[in-house]
Structure 1
């Protein structure tokens, strides 16, 4: 029996845990406020909040329910638009949307309201920038974005007096949420004491499901699945000596929230805001991005440049495999069907090492890359001591540009070296023309992004690079 709390109700269901949360909400609980839109996690019409106990405190995040299996909400608090309603009045978020005329046809409105309510339950600073970022995974088909931004600004203003009050307590007192939210932590503690183990080592492993459910929507609902998303052993980001170790189920949002990664990668927020949307970042796991084996997987490119190593397990034994050896061909992996990633580790950059990530897509946000690339470069004075350059969208697999790196290693960093290397890297890639651009466009884009790495990391070279 799968147990969780849905709004203010205790739920116990024997339905298949691979069933989508969206289907359960609409067709089994008859809560139609959560809309069916794209069924691919892009539009945000199906947004719900999912809260869980972490160190005995509640943490809520927005999820797209169209990609969330029931098995991933076990022991959690699921909140739909119906679950935030107040008796006899609008919530502060709903009122802000109404007063700012931020709803037109109304189809997308529940998703926007849930995302902004999730922002109210987060620990983020109550700024307009953060409020707008919270709705980066919601699409308004009527293009009423300016009025929605004004509503987001009003929500941020409502949160200004919060100070040290916990988000749920403040939200309940500020007419953002009903009072029952304050009791949820105690109810989840009681629920956790009754939960049964659901681990089936013979079943197909699944993490966040953000890619698999797009491709195998119906089939996964009937399969036996092993849910890795919440396994404690697969969570966490920690430092051991010079190593950074990530659990395989670490999400993109976990990366963003990590003080360790923020310290070593000060521009991490700039890199990751180009990756998907808030809802998907809350769900998608790093290991899943690797195993998806997409030629344009953002984190495959990111961690290739860091020379990351994977720890794979088949449930009996573990083995280590450098990420650069994982991809054998298009969607082909150097792993058995029953292996999954338990950990990822890489050596933290030294004070002489610089890192940068670049991505270009048709849309700035919420889109897959046409071309993406990352670089890690260690300097000894003006000499390149070590360099790794990764690129995606220019071949059948995410790849390291080994010959270009070998050519640059040990040389004085000059604009002429960068120019020569930008020609050499073209011999290492084999892009094809597709919906994301022609072969020529992708080659030009890679060359420009390669130069962008050096303009960003070595601004004194910008003028010389640009005029050539």
Structure 2
């Protein structure tokens, strides 16, 4: 039985664990405030909060329920917009939307309210920038965002007065109803045991598979692995970072030590989907999706990562990520095998990392071309180079020849231009909806140069490269 708390009620259901959480709350429980929009995780109309118990505290994150399997709710607290309601007045988030005329047709409003309530419950710093990030996956088509932004600012202003980030303060100030205070103990007492799952398709966050196969997965056996502890966690030992493949982009975003090694990490990760999807999507899922434009795949390729693969007999093997991909949507993974973790050396004081991405809109879009670079510099000479690029080949591409060429070269305009000539020979873009062959080659060149103008702004400008290219 799948057991969880839905708003203020404990639920035990024998419904198929592969059905979407959205369909369960709307059709089985008639909580129709959660809307059906795109069914692809893009619009945010179906946003719910998921509360996960850690020790004696609950961490809440927003997700898009249209692409989340019901089974992933097991042992959690699920909050719909109805679950945020107070008995006889509006919540702070609801009142802010009303006071600033931030709703018109109202279809998108529940999603915004839930996301902003999740922001109030989160551990993130209560500033306007973070609040806007919290609604980055919510789309409104008729109201106009200025009124929504004003409502967001009103919520932030009230949150800035809080003495501590506690349920008690949030309840007293009308952000959440009083029953939230009972949830930590109720989840602890529930002691939800692992689901007895049949063999079926492995699913972690589901953000890719449910876009493509939601109906199929709702009717067939699935094997949910999002809560498997052996696939979780981030550890750093002797300058090597190991990340469990169930970790999410948000886990990286919120990890202080990783952010200290990658000062621009949040800037890079802001280009990866929306907050709801960053909270859900597993890094392992991104790798085995094998998309030629997978953002995190390109990220980890440039870090020269290794991956550990686990089989059904608990035997492990390790290969370089750059050798994992064999052709379009094909990779070195046998029947019954899972990706266990990703491992890479962290940047040193002599090394530099950058990620670039161009798509039709700045955020919430898949790349036309994306690329990452990791360089080590000693005595003005490149001692190590790893470059990856997406959107220009059938696989997420590690640039073997370009990377090898740069090693031992001085950090000069001439060397970089010559490296671009090699890069152009390594890639083979095709014309499609994201751009023509020529356009993608131009993007590849410009983004390759952008790595150097970003990492070494005092030494290089784009004009320098274009004059000599």
> Which aligned pairs between 1:253-268 and structure 2 lie closer than 5 A?
253-268=250-265
TM norm structure 1: 0.97
Q: In structure 2, what is the Cα distance between the partners aligned to 1:12 and 1:94?
A: 30
Partner deviation per Cα, 1:333-354 (whole Å, 9 max, x = no partner): 1111311111111111221111
Of 312-321 and 368-377, more deviation after overlay is shown by: 312-321
* Superposition deviation, residue 164 in structure 1: 2.5
- In the alignment, does 2:359 pair up with 1:361? yes
Corresponding position of 2:388: 390
For residue 291 of structure 2, the aligned residue among 264, 289, 294 is 294
Q: Residues of 2 paired with 1:341 and 1:406: CA distance?
A: 28
- 1:348 is matched with which residue? 346
1:277 aligns with 2:280: no
What is the DSSP-based 3-state SS (H/G/I as helix, E as strand, rest coil) of the residue aligned with 2:168?
helix
Contact 2:7 2:82 in 1 (8 A): yes
Contact map agreement 2:103 2:143 (CA 8 A) in 1: no
Give the match for residue 439 of structure 1.
437
**Cα distance in 2, alignment partners of residues 197 and 44 from structure 1:** 29
More displaced, 418-427 or 327-336?
418-427
Show the counterpart of 1:222.
219
Counterpart CA distance in 2 for 1:172 and 1:314 is: 47
Q: Using the alignment, how far apart are the partners of 1:147 and 1:169 within structure 2?
A: 29
Q: Distance in 2 between matches of 1:5 and 1:279?
A: 20
How far is 1:425 from its partner? 0.7
2-structure distance, mates of 1:466, 1:189: 62
Equivalences for residues 421-432 of structure 1 within 5 A: 421-432=419-430
Find the aligned partners of 1:420 and 1:32 in 2 and give their Cα distance: 59
* Structural mapping, 1:30-179, within 5 Å: 30-142=30-142, 144-166=144-166, 168-179=167-178
- The answer on whether the counterparts of 1:245 and 1:343 sit within 8 Å (CA) in structure 2 is yes
Q: Considering only aligned residues, what root-mean-square deviation do their CA atoms show, in Å?
A: 1.1
Give 1:453 shift: 0.3
- Work out the CA distance in 2 between the residues paired with 1:255 and 1:44: 22
1-structure distance, mates of 2:197, 2:91: 42
Partners of 1:306 and 1:388 within 8 A in 2: yes
Partner Cα distance (2:158, 2:446) in 1: 43
Q: Is the 8 A contact 2:102 2:143 kept in 1?
A: no
Shift of 1:203: 2.6
Task: Provide the C-alpha distance between the structure 2 equivalents of 1:270 and 1:381, rounded to a whole number of angstroms.
Answer: 29
- The more displaced of 226-235 and 441-450 is 226-235
1:415–1:461 Cα contact (<8 Å) kept? no
Displacement, 1:163? 3.1
Which ranges in structure 2 are unaligned for 5 or more consecutive residues? none
Q: Please tell me whether the aligned partners of residues 309 and 316 of structure 2 are also in contact (alpha carbons under 8 angstroms).
A: yes
**Match of 2:375?**
377
- Which position in structure 1 is the counterpart of 2:181? 182
Q: Does 1:246 align with 2:243?
A: yes
Q: Equivalents in 2 of 1:296, 1:306: separation in Å?
A: 16
User: TM-score, normalized by length of structure 2?
Assistant: 0.97
Residue 216 of structure 1 aligns to a residue whose secondary structure is: helix
Q: Tell me the secondary structure at the aligned position of residue 82 of structure 1.
A: helix
The Cα of 1:242 is off from its aligned counterpart by 2.4
SS of the aligned residue for 1:397 comes to coil
3-state SS of 1:462 partner: coil
- Return the offset for 1:165: 3.5
For residue 18 of structure 2, what is the aligned residue in structure 1?
18
> In the TM superposition, what is the alpha-carbon distance from 1:76 to its structure 2 partner?
0.3
- On the 8 A contact 1:372/1:391 being kept in 2, the answer is yes
Separation of aligned partners in 1, 2:194 and 2:124:
34
Q: How big is the shift at 1:2?
A: 0.7
Partner SS, residue 250 of structure 1: coil
Aligned partner of 1:212 in structure 2 is: 209
* Whole-Å separation in 2 of the counterparts to 1:201 and 1:345: 30
The offset of 1:315, in angstroms, is 2.2
| 1:199 and 1:227 in contact (8 A); partners too | no
The CA distance in 1 between the partners of 2:22 and 2:58, in whole Å, is 22
The residue aligned with 1:322 is 320
- Matched residues in 1 for 2:336 and 2:141: separation? 42
Could you tell me how far 1:143 is from its partner in structure 2? 5.0
- Deviation string 1:404-449 (CA, Å, 9 cap, x unpaired) is 1122110111111111211221000000011111111000001000
Say which of 228, 233, 253 aligns to 1:231: 228
Looking at structure 1, the residues matched to 200 and 139 of structure 2 have their Cα atoms a distance apart, in angstroms, of 35
Q: Is the contact made by 1:104 and 1:144 (CA closer than 8 Å) also made in structure 2?
A: no
Which residues of structure 1 form unaligned runs of 5+? Answer: none
Deviation of 1:169 (Å): 2.5
Structure 1 distance, partners of 2:134, 2:405, is 43
State the alpha-carbon separation in 2 of the partners of residues 252 and 197 from structure 1.
25
Deviation at 1:57, TM superposition (A): 1.0
